[in-house]
Structure 1
């Protein structure tokens, strides 16, 4: 079993195989020792984020940015591997410091949960407090709104709006938004201001359940922190 431990700011995967992506990690993040980081572009991981064993980050097409308080579950894949013939150890060229059109940044905002064995392809933007359940696939360039939920085994090819739930597969896929929108809480407004992100749509009546879910995620991070302290003492 892999051991979760606080990473250094230059944490890299211990697995062999070129190239190893440069990784900038906040000191309060927790990363399993067998997480894979590959590709020429950098990976940035925010405060309090937990990355479980055998997760994979591939930056062959652009940087990956993971915000604060996220949970990346076991065997989740962020990015994609290139064909064997096109792998390179150097990043794509830039013009005056600006990325070329071929570069595709993948962004995962704060308090996002990525389920086990799910796949997030390059260029995806997952907004704050969204949930991607196990075995789901988010295709290239898709935008997932804040507090949205993509249920297990769904394949998403188009935008999912804020507070929407997507379930089913193929022609039977369904989307639903909870009715009865309420004003945004001060906490959400402050978080969006600090993170300099657009404000999400007004919260629906299911906000109480959503707040409870976020509290459970916080408890999970706290328990992992206490486990790490116990390991150090031993």
Structure 2
């Protein structure tokens, strides 16, 4: 499997993590040590300002009807993947501002909207689509609508971006968004 990992400016990515396949990591995103992100079924694009904590796994699985070229898995901005959670997906999109709590599991047949919370140790394996602002909680995977929006993680992201370089080796930014050339701006 070819490894094509793009780390955009402002991302904090620990060296001690597994990144396999075609992966793009957005600016402001923080990836802790011992994380595994595996793009076996196509590219994974992680938007800005996500937090992916220790022992989390994100796997873009191959599907039986693999498209050519394969469809990327897009993970929206401001998602939080807490310690030990696991996301396996064959679908092309995870919404924004979701929280995948500790040791939660989201299987390949689950679609996630925005503003959702998958509670600690909850296992979602049955085919389903979580509407925006859905909360899954408890041993029985109870479902309710969120009463308020998920709080911003900006302060935590800022703190982690400053502290992590003191305690962990980091992967270097290796990708710059290209600015249009002067010539193309002038239309010549």
Give the TM-score category using the shorter length. 0.7 to 0.9
- Pick aligned residue for 2:95 from 116, 119, 127: 127
Q: How high is the TM-score relative to the length of structure 1?
A: 0.62
Shift of 1:168: 2.4
User: Is it true that 1:36 corresponds to 2:18 in the alignment?
Assistant: yes
Shift of 1:61: 1.3
Runs of at least 5 residues in structure 2 that lack an aligned partner in the other structure: 168-188
Q: Distance in 1 between matches of 2:148 and 2:97?
A: 14
Residue-by-residue CA offset, 1:157-194 (whole Å, 9 max, x unaligned): 3211111100124xx2210014xxxxxxxxxxxxxxxx
Query: CA distance change for structure 1 residues 20 and 74 in 2, over 3 Å: closer, same or farther?
Result: farther
Query: CA distance change for structure 1 residues 59 and 167 in 2, over 3 Å: closer, same or farther?
Result: same
User: Is it true that 1:50 corresponds to 2:18 in the alignment?
Assistant: no
Q: How do 1:103-142 residues align onto structure 2 when only pairs under 5 Å count?
A: 103-124=70-91, 125-142=93-110
> What's the counterpart of residue 165 of structure 1?
135
- Pick aligned residue for 2:3 from 2, 17, 21: 21
Larger RCO (CA within 8 A; separation ≥ 6): 2
Question: Hey, which bits of structure 1, 4+ residues long, moved more than 3 A?
Answer: 228-231
Residue-by-residue CA offset, 1:94-135 (whole Å, 9 max, x unaligned): 3xxxx2xxx353221000001111111132432010111111
Q: Distance in 1 between matches of 2:120 and 2:164?
A: 30
Shift of 1:154: 1.1
Q: Distance in 2 between matches of 1:43 and 1:146?
A: 21
Task: Give the structure with the larger helix fraction.
Answer: 1
Q: Distance in 2 between matches of 1:159 and 1:60?
A: 23
Contact 1:118 1:137 in 2 (8 A): yes
Task: Give the structure with the larger strand fraction.
Answer: 2
Q: CA RMSD in A?
A: 2.3
> What's the counterpart of residue 192 of structure 1?
none
Runs of at least 5 residues in structure 1 that lack an aligned partner in the other structure: 1-18, 83-91, 179-204
Shift of 1:58: 1.0
Contact 2:44 2:60 in 1 (8 A): no
Q: Which moved more, 1:72-81 or 1:132-141?
A: 72-81
Q: Distance in 2 between matches of 1:230 and 1:55?
A: 19
